[in-house]
Amino acid sequence: MNCFKYISVFVTSILFAQSDINPTAALKNLSPPNAPAFVLMDIAPSNIIVPDNIQAFSIQTINAFSGNSTDGLGNTNFALEFQPYWYVKREKMNFFTYNNLKLDQPEKETISVNDYTHYNIFGDAWKKASISLALMNGTYNVFEVPQSYVSIGARTRLLSVKTQNQISEIKAQYARYEQLMSSPEVMMVFAKPGLSLEERNTTITSLDGYQAMVADLEESLQLRPLFALDVAVAYSHFMGDKSQNLDATFGRFGVWATGDLAFYMPTMGKHGHVHIYGVLRYLRDGLHRDLDSGALRIEDAIDYGAKIALEFDNLYFGYEYITRDADKNTEERSMGSIRYKITEAFTINGAFGKNFISEGQTVALLGIQWGLDFNSSVSLDPNK
């Protein structure tokens, strides 16, 4: 489903000022993310990912498979993630401000595409923010029987950097859209009496050149920023187990930053990219058990690592290696991952390799993400 099949093209740019109709563009959610609530517990198929757009609401499930079925995760691992931006009133949010383009002279009465001359690298901090909640069940290679945890997390994009060529391409494609919408062919559609809004929309979208224009505009919007930096925080709480004389207590707390250096590779597909990621995380980890008393204890740790990934149109391959320096020992996570987007709303994630605290055992992770968008659209009129 193309991003701008949802464009409500009802009037030309000349008629915008004379109509209450506000043309809008739906946004594609290009990278269904792993919820921070899952990443904190090391059960996400990938611990290193910088999503471009986060779905307004998503449901995620994770299952693990290893040589010993009693290790790792149980069958109750669910996360909900939502993006508050789409649930609150947004003032003066049009196509350009959503893409972090700033006006040269904000006080101008009539605004055109050429007035957007600056780029705000911090403009995604609110738009890309999300909150996640998770319920998890497993032994985590620490307990004798699966235990329950509840986790909450949040993330946002601290900054993003687009190249001047990317910005110019977005503006050029939008100018092409404006040119088509003010063309004689479109004006003739509005000159025909008795046509409903739906009939006008159908006629305009059927014009020669319209679909090609939409495809080119969509392609320019899907280019990843050259560099993006996300920050996240999460906390998990151990629910306790009276049968093992374990009280509810602190589970884990983590705060981390993930950077993404993305290179556009058209030979890999229309939306092909090569990603080089880096991650740095502070972890206060309560997933340790004292060998003598059997009680849980807390250790501090620092995670650092890198990932390389190949992104095709709907397929994504990656490999990550993360080192965890803890108080008493050092561990590694070495995982290959794959993600396949079946539809805009449904994605399958998988991973295979060595996880933290797995004692060399190979673990396979399988996740499913289902997302919903509620009114995820912005105005195409720069004067709105």
Tokens of 107: 């006080």
Ordered domains of the chain (ranges, CATH) = 31-162+223-379 (2.40.160.40)
Helices (H), the chain: 36-39, 95-98, 164-181, 184-191, 197-205, 210-221
CA atoms within 13 A on the CB side of 198: 0
- How many residues can be counted in the chain? 384
Position 16 scores a pLDDT of 36
- pLDDT at residue 368, rounded to an integer: 78
Both tokens assigned to 126: 């609110």
pTM metric for this prediction: 0.80
The confidence score (pLDDT) of residue 301 equals 94
Mean pLDDT by 10 residues, the chain (384 residues): 34 36 50 75 82 71 59 67 78 74 73 82 89 84 80 92 87 81 81 79 78 72 86 91 77 94 85 92 87 79 95 88 88 90 80 79 74 60 60
pLDDT in the model for residue 336: 93
Left (φ > 0), alpha (ψ -120 to 50) or beta: where does 261 sit? beta
| 119 in Cβ contact with 166 (< 8 Å) | no
Residues 235, 37: Cα–Cα separation, whole Å: 7
Spatial distance between the Cα atoms of 31 and 51, rounded to a whole number of angstroms: 5
